[in-house]
Amino acid sequence: MARFLLSRLASSAVVIMVVALIVFGLTAYSGGDPAVIYAGDDASPERLAQIRQQLGLDRPVYVQFWLWLQQIFSGNLGVSLFTGRPVLVLVAQRLEPTLVIAFVTIVMSVACAIPLGAKAALHPHGFIDRFLSSLSSVAFALPVFIAAYLLIYVFAIQLRWFPVQGYMPLSDGPLNTLRSVFLPCVSLSLVYIALLARTTRNSMVVVLQQDYIRAARARGARTGRIIFRHVLRNVTNSISTVVGLGIASMISGFTLVETVFALPGLGRLTVDAVLNRDFPVIQGLILIFAAAKIIINLTIDISYRVVDPRVSV
């Protein structure tokens, strides 16, 4: 296991370096002068030259990249050109809404998808199975922002069950927080539920046809015991893969959902940084998202070995 972890950590470090190089290259050659953004359009040439020297923009690109890497490894993601505040401070201020949305979406999706997929697997071509097939078709075809606007119109404007926009922090009470993020989480979880439920259903159908399942049934084992002791144990890796991939794909969904619902999370911070051409914030956020995806993939690989030591990943 130690050898496996070391190899995965080494490959993850290489991926982070490649991502850092790509991010820096895209922002460095994307056009626009960070000095003008920092000082304003009315700044004098002398002031712009001073700022370029202060930010290190007067040096060769490879030197700028090396200094930026040193800055990152020291735990400093830079300073926002737009607000003048450290990027890590901005990220820390916006982290809670994104983490709450991610957690509630995952719990909601797993709690709905696995029972739904298991029920469909036990009764193939039944009502639940046909409902799941229809739900999957609608969920995969419906964009996240369209689902968000539909949910706002029905449950926030017409029924007035939930707020249209805004976020209530955990300090105001978990129930208030849950109420403010419920619609964003539902809009994010629709595709996730459909994908996870279909994966659970298809994996369980294959396992239920195995000889040892027929033998267990012949011995008179209860259906619940067969499901929890034999079937789910053998489909855990498939479910873990979809859960991990869903968490990783949610990162791109944060941008849409937080913009539609006006939530002050990392997705909204990304949109604001792009609109303001705030290069240090863009670079820092992309690195954070990339590191999150790498950690998720590493966790999935470790879970394979923990659940089934026979699996080689």
Dihedral (CA of 276, 281, 283, 286) sign: negative
Whether residue 131 sits in one domain with residue 36: no
Q: If the chain, 313 residues long, is cut into consecutive pieces of 10 residues, what is the mean pLDDT of each piece?
A: 72 80 74 63 69 70 79 81 85 90 89 85 82 82 85 89 87 89 90 84 78 72 69 72 74 83 88 83 86 80 63 52
Q: What is the pTM of this model?
A: 0.80
Whether residue 146 sits in one domain with residue 64: no
CB burial class (10 A; 0-12, 13-18, 19+) of residue 280?
buried
Whether residue 209 sits in one domain with residue 123: yes
Domain count, the chain: 2
Position 81 in a domain: no
Q: What is the CATH number of the domain that holds 221?
A: 1.10.3720.10
Residue 257 neighbours by CB under 8 Å, 6+ apart: 101, 144, 145, 148, 184, 187, 188, 263, 267
Whether residue 232 sits in one domain with residue 98: yes
Average per-residue pLDDT in the chain?
79
Whether residue 241 sits in one domain with residue 125: yes
Give percent of the chain above pLDDT 70. Answer: 83
Position 269 in a domain: yes
Position 281 in a domain: yes
Whether residue 260 sits in one domain with residue 128: yes
Report pLDDT for 182: 92
Whether residue 24 sits in one domain with residue 145: no
Position 79 in a domain: no
Whether residue 98 sits in one domain with residue 41: no
Whether residue 188 sits in one domain with residue 252: yes
Expressed as residue numbers, the domain containing 28 is 16-73
